[in-house]
């Protein structure tokens, strides 16, 4: 994957009107993610979860951002156990007791996107697996402590990596967070690892998706032949957590507000 530290002039600073539309896109995105999370249980297929996401988004007057995005066939990416991201919903994939299920959702409302993901356990999981899910979620919050005017993108990246590694897990490096706006993926790139003090400076009006992907084992991943699904190279578990946030004059504002887990 090509990496670059974009200049700030590649980053679109959102107007007040755009921010209001993105709040609504974020609200719909999170509502669909919560509905998906409530549907995760042993016996359900990932296709059924996908249908719930699509209905929730469309009933709210928005469009699923992922549906047909570069040909993606679902409204949500649903990735089970060692699948990291970009899992394709399928009637053949049935959730089993003890699985962990990553649901990634985007909604487009009047031309603006929201992007949010979370990891759900189906039934009982081992304490170590529960810890993986919790550390992944908390690493997002550790990261956005640095999502403040005047700091730099990699200050967020570094905080995510440090927290994850202190807890004995690894952060995926081949896939990154990103700017969000009229496009689902915009500048800047937002890595989940790196040395602090690098990359674009954070400016009020920037909107970014911060999305740690955390592996139980090694950080290496590989893509499957279906052209989408990314799995851990060592077949150990992976977790994901994501929100779309707005840089402000003070604390960052989570546009995909509300607790998914
Ligand atoms: Mg996402
Ligand atoms: Mg994203």
Domains defined along the chain, listed by start: 12-254 (3.90.230.10)
Distance 98 CA to ligand 2 centre (A): 26
The neighbourhood of ligand 1, an ion, using CB within 5 A, equals: 104, 115, 117, 242
Question: What is the rounded distance in angstroms from the CA atom of residue 210 to the CA atom of residue 189?
Answer: 10
Q: What is the pLDDT of residue 3?
A: 43
Distance 180 CA to ligand 2 centre (A): 8
Among 82, 83, 104, 89, which Cα is nearest to 30's?
A: 104
Distance 114 CA to ligand 2 centre (A): 9
Among 103, 79, 99, 108, which Cα is nearest to 228's?
A: 79
In tens, the pLDDT along 95-107 reads 999 999 999 999 9
Residues present in the chain in total: 261
Report residue 14 CA to chain centroid gap. Answer: 20
Residues of the chain short of pLDDT 70, as ranges, are 1-9, 261
In tens, the pLDDT along 18-68 reads 999 999 999 999 999 999 999 999 999 999 999 999 999 999 999 999 999
Among 9, 91, 3, 2, which Cα is nearest to 50's?
A: 91
Q: What is the pLDDT of residue 2?
A: 38
Distance 238 CA to ligand 1 centre (A): 15
Distance 258 CA to ligand 1 centre (A): 16
Strands 170-171 and 112-121: unpaired
Instruction: Tokens for 99, please give them.
Output: 């699985």
213 in Cβ contact with 140 (< 8 Å): no
Distance 234 CA to ligand 1 centre (A): 23
Distance 249 CA to ligand 1 centre (A): 25
| List of residues 6+ apart from 170 with CB closer than 8 A | 164, 214, 215, 217, 218, 219
Other residues' Cβ atoms within 10 Å of the Cβ of residue 149: 15
β-sheet bridge partners, residue 209: 178, 244
Which ligand minimizes its atom distance to the CA of 76? Answer: 1
Phi-psi bin for 150: left (phi > 0), alpha (psi -120 to 50), beta? left
Q: What is the pLDDT of residue 1?
A: 34
């Amino acid at each position: 994957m090509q990496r670059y530290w974009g200049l700030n002039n590649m980053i679109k600073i959102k107007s007040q009107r755009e921010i209001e539309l993105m709040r609504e896109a974020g609200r719909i995105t999170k509502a669909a993610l919560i509905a998906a999370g409530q549907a995760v249980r042993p016996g359900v297929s990932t296709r059924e979860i996908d249908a719930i996401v699509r209905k929730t988004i469309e009933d709210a007057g928005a469009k699923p951002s992922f549906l047909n995005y570069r040909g993606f066939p679902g409204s949500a990416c649903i990735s089970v156990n060692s699948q990291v991201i970009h899992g394709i919903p399928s009637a053949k994939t049935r959730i089993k007791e003890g699985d962990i299920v990553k649901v990634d959702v985007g909604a487009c409302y009047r031309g603006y996107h929201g992007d949010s993901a979370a990891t759900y356990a189906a039934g009982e999981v081992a304490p170590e697996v529960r810890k993986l899910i919790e550390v992944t979620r908390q690493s997002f919050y550790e990261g956005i402590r640095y999502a403040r005017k005047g700091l730099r993108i990699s200050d967020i990246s570094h905080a995510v990596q440090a927290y994850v590694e202190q807890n004995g897990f690894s952060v995926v490096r081949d896939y990154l967070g990103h700017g969000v706006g009229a496009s689902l993926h915009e500048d800047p790139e937002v890595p989940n690892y790196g040395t602090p003090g690098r990359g674009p400076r954070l400016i009020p009006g920037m909107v970014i998706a911060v999305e740690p992907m955390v592996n139980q084992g090694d950080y290496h991943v590989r893509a499957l032949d279906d052209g989408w699904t990314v799995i851990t190279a060592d077949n150990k578990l992976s977790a994901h957590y994501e929100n779309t946030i707005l840089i402000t004059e003070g604390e960052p504002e989570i546009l995909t507000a509300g607790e998914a887990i």
